[in-house]
Amino acid sequence: MTVEFDIIGASASQALRVDFTDLVIAGWAGRDQAAIEHHIEELAAIGVPRPSATPLFYRVAANQLTQADRVQMVGEQTSGEVEAFVFSAGGVAYVSIASDHTDRELEAHSVALSKQVCAKPVARQAWRLDEVVGHWDDLVIRSWIEEDGKTVSYQEGPLASLRTPADLIAGYANGASQLPDGVGMTCGTVPVIGGIRPASTFTMELYDPKRDRALRHTYAIDVLPVVA
């Protein structure tokens, strides 16, 4: 799956085309066991079984990556999750923002399948990882949804609450310090405000307070009918 990013640098920008061959969803990626337990309980409330271990690395087809402004999902029980998204190209590591959009009804049956069946929206912009890794814990991920005609806050939290990319990459890639070219990984999410629920529009953001800049992407969800 070929995806094109605008790499927004501290002094200049450039276009980058990345041929993704593998997509990895790092689940249960919190540093604080209490926070992990909170998310497990959030999902348990909608019938999702507890994970066998934390973190877990779910494989999803790379062709599920999309930068579209609208995505199609089967049924009304799907929702997004904002996550930092790390990848490598030409031996250089980058970070963007993505949504681990998930079928919540199917999730109660199989977490792996629930992730596979939904598109994974990713932003059109990215930063070099080395520009933010020194203050990674200060970065903030946020999301908003459209609800009852209003934009409401859905998630917000610092990346300090989640495992670092280095930790997740080492856990997935047998101790490696960087993902191979063409591999993308989402890096975990923060708790939802008010409970997990579907919405017609999802906006996600990765904010860098040190440089006062942000990566942001919005997508709308078109619900396809469930036909038996």
CA of residue 163 relative to chain centroid, distance: 14
Q: Where are the domains of the chain?
A: 2-224
Which of 43-47, 74-78, 92-96, 201-205 is predicted least confidently?
43-47
Q: What is the tens place of the pLDDT at every residue in 28-72?
A: 898 888 878 887 888 788 888 888 888 999 999 999 999 999 999
pLDDT in tens, 133-176: 999 999 999 999 999 999 999 999 999 999 999 999 999 999 99
Long-range (24+ apart) CB contacts under 8 A made by 17-21 are 18/87, 18/89, 18/182, 18/184, 19/182, 20/62, 20/65, 20/87, 20/182, 20/183, 20/184, 21/62, 21/182, 21/183
Residue 10 has pLDDT above 80, yes or no: no
* pLDDT number for residue 47: 82
- Taking domain 2-224, whether its CATH number is 3.30.230.30 is answered by no
